[in-house]
């Protein structure tokens, strides 16, 4: 991809941290920020412009939904964040209305646009964006359990002293309370990860991963850096067409919902969905996650 234009809709904590992460990389040509709060958005752009003095080849500008629709990649972070104690699913009613109006307000959309949903509950809103955008499903995915997967890999890394990227394990299903760890297929250099830990320790690692966002939100009100890093990683996979396998929230035909599974990501978005061969308990948990997501979708569409 030529040096791309990336639009970010929602210039709040996650949107601006993502913009800041992306401007550290000179291969991005333009970043367009869109927010209903134009004053805040202008202030963020002015602030970001101070960070551009070492990178004069990237521009950050304010835009409207119609401008975002003509970008190469659009990242949607607009909407309410969780308050302490709220689950991601608690945000559904309010954020469904916001995402529906944004996607409808973007029309007509560049047919080659890749859309990355971030707003929670991300799995359901990825599905909603697929329904209203008119884009092929493989061009829309959610930034979901890549973050949880990185959290889990980092926890394991600290215990076995191996780089997180050398640990082959995925967090799948819902980016939320019904997430599922693929322990049965998890390996380090071909050795089953289960050989390194007792069952109780595996359960504890999964719980710490699931609860991490709640703990950060309880302390500081929002999460930003991990998700921004994951979004930048997705963007690089698209821009450089690396065909990296990463967990994404994408349409899984077998369950007729969007949820998180490993997928090959390239310039055109999702190129292959690769569901690991899970054991019976993990498969049942994945199906249960799909049932929960589907029951929420039924209340909307």
CB of 54 to ligand NAD, least distance (A): 25
Can you say whether the dihedral through the CA atoms of 274, 150, 19, 49 is positive or negative? Answer: negative
Instruction: For residue 218, give Cα distances in angstroms to 15, 84, 221, 266.
Output: 20, 5, 6, 36
Contacting residues for 113 by C-beta, under 8 A, at least 6 apart: 69, 70, 71, 72, 73, 74, 135, 139
Which residues contact ligand NAD by CB under 6 A? 9-15, 34-37, 77-82, 91, 95, 98, 101-102, 118-120, 122, 143, 147, 175, 222-223, 227
CB of 9 to ligand NAD, least distance (A): 5
Within 10 angstroms of residue 141's Cβ, the number of other Cβ atoms is 27
Give 20 or 193: the residue with its C-beta nearer to ligand NAD: 20
11/252 with CB nearer ligand NAD: 11
Rounded to an integer, what distance in angstroms lies between the CA atom of residue 154 and that of residue 169?
11
Residue closest to ligand NAD, measured at CB: 12
Phi then psi for residue 160, to 5 deg, are: -110, 5
CB of 231 to ligand NAD, least distance (A): 8
The catalytic residue positions are 175
The nearer residue to ligand NAD, 105 or 187, going by C-beta atoms, is 105
Q: Which two tokens stand for residue 42?
A: 């202008």
Q: Which is nearer to ligand NAD, 125 or 169 (CB)?
A: 125
Q: How many C-beta atoms surround the C-beta of residue 198 within 10 A?
A: 9
Report the nearest approach of ligand NAD to the CB of residue 292 (Å).
17
Looking at the Cβ atoms of 5 and 188, the one nearer to ligand NAD is 5
Give me the least distance between CB of 209 and ligand NAD, in Å please: 13
Measuring CA to CA, how many Å separate 204 from each of 115, 148, 196, 199, 200?
A: 34, 14, 14, 9, 6
């Amino acid at each position: 991809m030529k040096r791309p234009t990336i639009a970010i809709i929602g210039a709040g904590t996650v949107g601006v941290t993502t913009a800041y992460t992306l401007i550290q990389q000179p291969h991005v040509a333009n970043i367009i920020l869109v927010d209903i709060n134009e004053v805040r958005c202008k202030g963020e752009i002015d602030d970001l412009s101070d960070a551009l003095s070492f990178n004069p080849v990237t521009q950050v500008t304010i835009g409207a939904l119609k401008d975002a629709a003509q970008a190469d990649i659009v990242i949607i972070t607009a909407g309410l964040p969780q308050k302490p104690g709220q689950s991601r699913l608690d945000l559904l009613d309010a954020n469904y209305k916001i995402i529906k109006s944004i996607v409808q307000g973007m029309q007509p959309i560049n047919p080659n646009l890749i859309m990355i949903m971030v707003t929670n509950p991300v799995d359901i809103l990825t599905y909603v964006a697929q329904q209203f955008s008119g884009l092929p499903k493989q061009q829309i995915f959610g930034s979901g359990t890549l973050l949880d997967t990185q959290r889990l890999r980092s926890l394991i890394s600290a215990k076995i002293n191996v780089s997180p990227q050398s640990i082959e394990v995925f967090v799948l299903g819902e980016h939320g309370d019904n997430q599922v760890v693929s322990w049965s297929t998890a390996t380090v250099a071909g050795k089953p990860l289960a050989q390194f830990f007792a069952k109780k320790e595996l359960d504890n690692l999964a719980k710490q991963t699931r609860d991490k966002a709640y703990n950060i939100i309880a302390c500081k009100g929002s999460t930003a850096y991990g998700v921004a890093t994951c979004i930048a990683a997705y963007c690089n996979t698209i821009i450089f067409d690396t065909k990296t396998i990463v967990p994404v929230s994408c349409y899984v035909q077998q369950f007729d919902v969007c949820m998180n599974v490993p997928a090959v990501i390239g310039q055109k978005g999702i190129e292959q969905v690769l569901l690991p061969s899970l054991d019976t308990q993990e498969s049942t948990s994945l199906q249960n996650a799909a049932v929960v997501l589907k029951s929420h979708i039924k209340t909307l569409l």
